[in-house]
Chain A
């Protein structure tokens, strides 16, 4: 089942912060975050494993709350280059093997 992302879209001024949320109805093995610019390939940002952790590089970080089956992506002091669509992918484990399902995306626009 597809994870739910919120908000669907957000507009920021350069330097502002944003939070993108991803929630699932199933127990998660891991959460993956990607960013896709228009007409380009999705680009990997980070993976968070179950056990609850927080990761980050530069001014983009993420947390994973295993109990709530939720992950949040934090964009701090946004830059113009952060514009794009952010997708979370939730990985679940089943008898048939692991499966990664992407959410519908959050469109982020950073304006000067």
Chain B
């Protein structure tokens, strides 16, 4: 079966542009997570969905970050008015339920110039 799929793999944007990152979780997985991973660091939690409900968005760093999962499957992480500090790898993970275990996608490497 297919794993978690993220697109694009690489994204380069100019400061101030808006970007949208897509995550296609494993079919049937209820839970979906977004993480931000800086170089040499562990994944840092951004937000968590259970089906279409966003249960926790406490990790979103600012109101420029917005995530949605309207039909309980594919999710999009949107970053508005990007800043250089937004440069990182954005990881998506899904699980059957709750936090366990999580299956990660390969991530989107975002570079803001």
Contacts and interface: CB of A to CB of B under 8 A. Distances in A.
Interface of A: 2, 30, 32, 34, 39-44, 47, 87, 89, 91, 96-105
Given A34-B104, A42-B104, 12 more contacts: A32-B100, A32-B102, A41-B105, A44-B103, A47-B100, A87-B43, A99-B56, A100-B45, A102-B35, A102-B44, A102-B45, A105-B41
Given A41-B106, A42-B104, A96 B91 contact: no
Contacts of A104: 41-42
Given A97-B56, A99-B45, A104-B41, A41 B101 contact: no
Interface in B53-112: 55-56, 58, 91, 93, 98-107
Contacts of A97: 55-56
A2 B42 contact: yes
Interface of B is mostly: loop
Interface of B: 3-4, 35, 40-45, 55-56, 58, 91, 93, 98-107
27 contacts: A32-B99, A32-B102, A34-B104, A39-B106, A41-B3, A41-B4, A41-B106, A41-B107, A42-B43, A42-B93, A42-B104, A43-B104, A44-B103, A47-B101, A96-B56, A97-B55, A97-B56, A98-B98, A98-B99, A99-B45, A99-B56, A100-B45, A100-B99, A102-B42, A102-B45, A104-B41, A105-B41
Given A40-B106, A41-B91, A97-B55, A30 B100 contact: yes
B91 A42 contact: yes
Interface of A is mostly: strand
